[in-house]
Homo-oligomer: A and B are copies of this chain.
Amino acid sequence: MTGATAARGRIDKREAILNAAFTVFARRGYDKACVQEIADEAGVAKPTVYNHLTDKETLFRHAILAAADAVTAENLAIVERLRDPGDDLSAALSDTAYRLLEVCAAERARDLRRLTYAQHANLPDLTATVLERTAQGVAEALADRLARLALAGRLRPCDPTVAAEQLLALLTGPLERRSQLGARDVPDTELRAVAEAAVRTFIAAYGT
């Protein structure tokens, strides 16, 4: 067996632990989650968890950040598609909007949001970091796209940061209320409706 394989095994185990941690934290919340349960979920012994991640807190931070990066990657890929919106801008935006909602409504994003939010009192810096890596990043990427569209005359001249912020608000606000902060699964049709409504309002305000 090669050293590379062994290293791979180590990394796999670490990843397994982080995944298990996210799962369990999402299931129980930070405080009620116990390291033993995470270890069980990951199929390792408790001290192995500590060997890899020091601390319950460290474990939490890494699990959260990993999830945040995954969610962000998905969202950025979606926004990126707006680089080439085609002829029907409204349709392109609706598509983007719907896809973003899909990601946000998915379990991982909801759990991530909830867990981060919940620990704000104890781990204030984590909130900031996560926000930066998720919402902020996506908002900026979207602002970039909107700026280009405005420059191309397909949107009225505007502050692209505010425009992006508002478009995202029009998506996530209604989503949150309808999902009851993630308690309820929002059916696909409703997702689509929210996306349509958001884009309609957005175009009314920012379209040419």
Contacts and interface: CB of A to CB of B under 8 A. Distances in A.
Interface of A: 26-32, 114, 116-122, 124, 127-128, 131, 135-136, 139, 162, 165-166, 168-170, 172-174, 177, 180-183, 197-198, 200-202, 204-206
Contacts of A31: 29-32
26 contacts: A27-B121, A28-B121, A29-B121, A29-B122, A30-B31, A31-B31, A114-B117, A114-B118, A116-B181, A117-B118, A117-B181, A118-B119, A120-B181, A120-B183, A128-B183, A131-B181, A162-B174, A165-B174, A166-B197, A166-B201, A169-B170, A169-B174, A170-B173, A172-B173, A204-B205, A204-B206
A169 B194 CA distance: 12
Which residue, of A165, A174, A201, has the highest number of chain B Cβ atoms within 10 A? A201
Nearest to A115: B118
How many copies are assembled?
A: 4
B114 A182 contact: no
A170 to B, nearest CB: 5
Given A165-B173, A166-B197, A201-B205, A182 B120 contact: yes
A25 B65 CA distance: 26
Contacts of A121: 26-29, 32, 114
Nearest to A113: B117
Contacts of A205: 200-201, 204-205
